[in-house]
A = this chain, B = another copy of it.
Amino acid sequence: MDHSLPDILIKQLNHFSPLGDTDIEALYDRMTSLDIAKGEYWLREGQVSSHIGFLISGVMRVYHLANDKEYTSYFNFGQRNPFVSSFTSFTKRIASQENIHAITDCSMIVISHADLEHLYETHPAIDRLGRKMAEYNYMLALERIYSLQHRSAAERYNELLSIYPQLVNMVPHHYIASYLGITPESLSRIRKEK
């Protein structure tokens, strides 16, 4: 892509692990920008996830379909959770069980699996960056496990509110409910309490 990777991407990646000029140059060469309009899909169940994305703006949602219900794996939104992927599909090169779509108009910077592997092979600093990102995502996942394991639905909702105050105004509530592991009706009751 042209020499215009958004500052926010460089800044965030540098925050995970410092990159040299040649590393950033290599990223320039392999990453491309991708805009997705509200409602559009980036990945459908059954496909092998070919790219991983870094979300610049908007809200994306990863969900799984079973028994006629949607199970929201997670949202990508803001700087806390910018890595968009069906991670297991992307990493293991297997069919995804998940769908990924844009809840609002979205802007991403993406890279293909082959290109990322190539960068890992040729740029140790990027390999390290990959490690830092995986460690970060793992720690986020541990927090979520703890929350699901030990907190009530109302507590989980309040946690979500405190972490992403704006999210609740941007996405349909039944998606939020599904993310929390409850029904839309239960979420409605929880919200009424307050």
Contacts and interface: CB of A to CB of B under 8 A. Distances in A.
Interface of A: 64, 66, 71, 73, 87-88, 91, 120, 124, 127-128, 130-131, 134-135, 137-139, 141-142, 144-146, 148-150, 181
Contacts of A130: 131
Contacts of A88: 139, 142
Contacts of A149: 71, 148, 181
Nearest to A97: B146
Q: Which 6 A/B pairs are nearest by Cβ-Cβ distance?
A: A141-B141, A134-B134, A131-B131, A148-B148, A149-B181, A138-B138
A135 B52 CA distance: 14
Q: Interface centre among A137, A142, A149, by most B CB within 10 Å?
A: A149
Nearest to A137: B138
Contacts of A128: 120, 127, 131
Given A128-B120, A128-B127, A91 B135 contact: yes
A142 B120 CA distance: 23
Contacts of A71: 146, 149-150
11 contacts: A64-B146, A66-B150, A73-B145, A87-B138, A88-B142, A91-B139, A127-B128, A141-B145, A144-B145, A145-B145, A150-B181
B150 A87 contact: no
Contact of A134 (B131, B144, B146): B131
A134 B141 CA distance: 12
